[in-house]
Amino acid sequence: MRICIVSDSHDRAEPLAAAVRAAADQGAQAVFHCGDLIGTQTLRAALAVGLPLHLVDGNNLGDLVSLSRWVRETGGQLQYHGPHARLELGGRKIFLVHYPEIGHAMACTGEWDLVCCGHSHEAEMRRVANVKGGESWLVNPGTIAGLAAPATWVLGDLDEMRFDVHTLDSQSKALP
């Protein structure tokens, strides 16, 4: 199962939608947004792609009343999880959070196959040794908004546990 991982869209709807469209074209079946969405309207074009979208808080939250309404109106396509999400998808246990420090701590527990975070605006993917003697993946897709860093997102393959960073150009088209 392939997934699109994004974060820190900061009210930039078109780059977010471009990443989701590109991921869908490459077989993604779900989107994880690791926070700092801000305005709910930012989701409109991304949701039009038709993939389920899981969203957690960031330090720039936005309008919770509007977000709650959108969750109801999308009939389950948009799933808002609050400060973190605990998911099972594609046979994997996945944890979503905004802050990298919390993400690292959760990866160290060994309870999760994949932990996704954001906040730093820097894309990073690495295996983290955990207390159970194994490793967990920690993936930060960077900022899809391209704020003080390139506009990046991650295409993940949960079957192979492979994660690839993609960059958007100035026209918001995905580049491999």
Give the tens place of pLDDT for each residue, 140-162: 999 999 999 999 999 999 999 99
pTM to 2 decimals? Answer: 0.95
Q: Which domains does the chain have, with CATH numbers?
A: 2-169 (3.60.21.10)
Q: In whole angstroms, give the CA distance from residue 98 to residue 3.
A: 17
Report residue 172's pLDDT band, with 50, 70 and 90 as the boundaries: very low
CA distances from 82 to 9, 44, 134 (A): 17, 19, 28
Residue 87 pLDDT > 70, yes or no?
Answer: yes
